[in-house]
Amino acid sequence: MIDFEIPAELAERRDRIRRFVAEQVVPYETDPRITAHGPSDELRQELVELARAAGLLTFQAPAEYGGTAPSHVEQAVLFEAAGWSTIGPVALNCAAPDEGNMFLLGKVCSPEQAETFLRPVIEGHQRSVFAMTEPDGAGADPSQLTTTAVRDGAEFVINGRKWLITGADGGRVWIIMARVEPGSSEHGPTLFLCDGDTPGIVIERTMDTIDRNYVGGHGVVRFDDLRLPASAVLGEVGQALRYAQLRLAPARLTHCMRWLGAAERAHSIAVDHAKRRTAFGKPIGQHQGVGFMLADNEIALQQCRLAIWWACWTLDQGHQGRHESSMVKTMVSEELYKLADRCVQILGGMGISDETPVAGIFRDLRAFRLYDGPTEVHKFAISRAILRD
């Protein structure tokens, strides 16, 4: 049986989140603490406290940490509501990379690691980092990992360079991917957990990028003889690529959910403008050129929503969802970018300004076509699966 009805209790939670974002978060969108590198930590903490007071902070967390543990399909409904503002997920503590990192840590880390590293992130007191991407190596193809972890007695010594590391500046909980060098039965790509203040983590700079919705921006990081104990290994030595895939499929979809909410906001602004703005004797929405763009937007929103629900349903059935999440991430990122472009066009000169959030949503959606795997890499993976089958 296929049922597209949203249960009343879920609809009520969705509406609470949407009201919170619209009434309490949207007024912060013009706050000067949103810099070219994203919201400041001070602003983030202020927003987090608003969500905490509203009883909505980290609503996606497991029940033992105070969350409601929604299914993937339920998350699709709730994260879309959170995305109504691009800083809505920051306030609610369901933004990347923290949301994906919390999911991974909840699946892999030991009880001791959970208390030290997972709980502070769930409670909104600390931010987290997933340090994988490298300037000349790992990225869409993590097998090209060049950062090394060499055993030295009971410790690992990590050296290497990373970039586009979201939230590096100020992030306290670090998940680092490095290759443990051969020399024993256990080697290969491995994840390590540590505090961001550990000596040996050097943040060289924050990169200038077109998006500005991630706290701390995207950093260039160097590991300079970073020494970590064996207890810092997350999961098992040599299993980093498997753990990364565990994280990436759901994270691709939560990206899609949040950006669907932002795209819906851009569309609503374009619709309102098309009703009020007149040209050649009538509102511009009544001209076919603009009206057809609005129709295309409406179609795209519903197509993306249903595709996300389908992939989430696949995960909820216990499947890995790699193929499905690749298809949905590709389609949603491309379609929502085109939607945002049409919204800019409908708004005219105002669309390329910061008079509305649309220009910012357009910039951020352009970046979405790249992170968590660029469109071309996902299409490559999809085509390989087709040929295998």
Collapsing DSSP to helix, strand or coil, 157 comes out as strand
Reading the chain (389 residues) residue by residue, the pLDDT tens digits are 678 999 999 999 999 999 999 999 999 999 999 999 999 999 999 999 999 999 999 999 999 999 999 999 999 999 999 999 999 999 999 999 999 999 999 999 999 999 999 999 999 999 999 999 999 878 888 889 999 999 999 999 999 999 999 999 999 999 999 999 887 778 999 999 999 999 999 999 999 999 999 999 999 999 999 999 999 999 999 999 999 888 888 999 999 999 999 999 999 999 999 999 999 999 999 999 999 999 999 999 999 999 999 999 999 999 999 999 999 999 999 999 999 999 999 999 999 999 999 999 999 999 999 988 999 999 999 999 999 97
CATH code assigned at 272 = 1.20.140.10
**Amino acid identity, position 121:** V
The reply to whether 102 falls in a domain is yes
Closest of 40, 365, 89 to residue 216, by C-alpha: 40
Q: Which domain holds residue 203?
A: 128-237
pTM of the shown model: 0.96
Using N-to-C axis directions, what is the helix angle for 322-347 and 240-276, rounded to 10°?
A: 30
CATH code assigned at 31 = 1.10.540.10
Same domain for 51 and 152:
no
Closest of 243, 255, 239, 163 to residue 206, by C-alpha: 163
Same domain for 161 and 67:
no
Same domain for 174 and 115:
no
CATH code assigned at 181 = 2.40.110.10
Same domain for 143 and 41:
no
User: Domain ends where: 79, 97, 122?
Assistant: 122
Count of the separate structural domains present in the chain? 3
Q: What is the DSSP string of 48-71?
A: HHHHHHTT-TTTTS-GGGTS----
Same domain for 199 and 162:
yes
The reply to whether 3 falls in a domain is no
Measured CA to CA, the distance from residue 131 to residue 125 in angstroms comes to: 20
- Report CA-CA distances (Å) from 40 to 44, 97, 119, 127, 336: 6, 15, 22, 12, 27
Measured CA to CA, the distance from residue 182 to residue 354 in angstroms comes to: 53
